[in-house]
Structure 1
């Protein structure tokens, strides 16, 4: 596969929105998500030969954006413990009320569970591909998905019960 500027522009057009979606679901912040997607493409441009040689450039991009989001989460987690916590970001204005509760519930999951939920349900990846992106066994992905679904069900049921 060639690595001309048209190829890279097409790669960007075909994958930018999905990368923002994955990053947004992991970070709960649209600005951070857009930054992570841009940073992912900066890495991809520097390593475009490697990206072009992969069987799935989209999977390569997802792996990079997930790893960058995890790195950012670890850094912020450390800062959160050391400094005054920053205000919680609010969801974008165009998100509907029915999605806002789900978004908040996903955002409340611990990072590992959030990652599997985002990749499996929002990015629509099969369990095996989620395992490959996160570099964990398939059984670990299944376990995290099961625990995440239970946590989401409990949180959403509790929130609905309070209305």
Structure 2
């Protein structure tokens, strides 16, 4: 049976130092935090063995070193793959219609924009949208109707009337 108080004491006395070590080895603070967390989780799973080790902190550092090497290997393979694949092709600029539509959608309230996107872009039913958003189906129908009306109003061109132009 694992001795939780001794592991807690071990963690309290070594974790700050171990994180500093991991940041130096891994080179990225967030990745180092992940490596330290994983190393301590492995130590906890084997705490009876690790606690009996002559240098438990060195055991944790060894795990961190191995995790760091694995990370560097993965990054190296990814880098190699990207180098051989070459850069991705340039994406074409958005069409004028896309820009106009996105601008019109941004003018809508967030709830209407969300249900319109779920309904028309994700092909979701009103009931599925209601479940995902946590509102009633009638509320979804209302937001869809209002969103459509607002979009339609933005896309209808105002009618021009015969205005008199007066010379000054």
Bucket of the pairwise TM-score, normalised by the shorter protein: 0.3 to 0.5
> Which structure ranks higher in relative contact order (CA pairs < 8 Å, sequence separation ≥ 6)?
1
Structure number with greater Rg is: 2
- What is the TM-score when the length of structure 1 is the normalising length? 0.47
Normalised by the size of structure 2, how large is the TM-score? 0.46
